[in-house]
Amino acid sequence: MADIQKRKGNLLPIQKNGSTDASKSTTKSQNSNWIPPFYKNQYLVEGAELACIHGGGRSVLKVPESHNYYSGDRKKANCKDCVEAENIPYFESCSLNEETRQCQGFMDLEDTWINKNISRLSAELIDEEPAINLSSLQK
């Protein structure tokens, strides 16, 4: 259950609790952008743990009820499931907020998750938007 580390971007999925099963064999690389090959085959689903490079603690991905696509018993997320508070609850603390350390108001999220290993043309569509996987991130 490894964390994803040393990648560009602010918001990262954590493998534990938030993905479907796939082959777990990996080889380590010296490349700091190295992503284990099985990550690109695992969907990000409701309940996935998220980490922020500026945040303390973890957050858990929330997927809308309208998504009727499942991996096992969990709803699959799409690239638009990145709305502050609605899809991504606030983290425990934020290093960007020097005054109160609260995360609220300091999430600077893009309109979509960035799929590092899936093209928009080849991605499975969830409510007409590309599905996201463990190699996806938010900047």
Number of domains in the chain: 1
Residue 76 lies in a domain: yes
Residue 124 lies in a domain: yes
pLDDT tens profile 67-90: 888 888 999 999 999 999 999 999
Residue 31 lies in a domain: no
Domain housing 125: 9-18+36-139
Tokens of 51: 């980490």
pLDDT tens profile 34-66: 444 445 568 889 999 998 999 889 899 999 988
Residue 49 lies in a domain: yes
pTM over 0.85: no
Residue 28 lies in a domain: no
Who wins on pLDDT, 2 or 45? 45
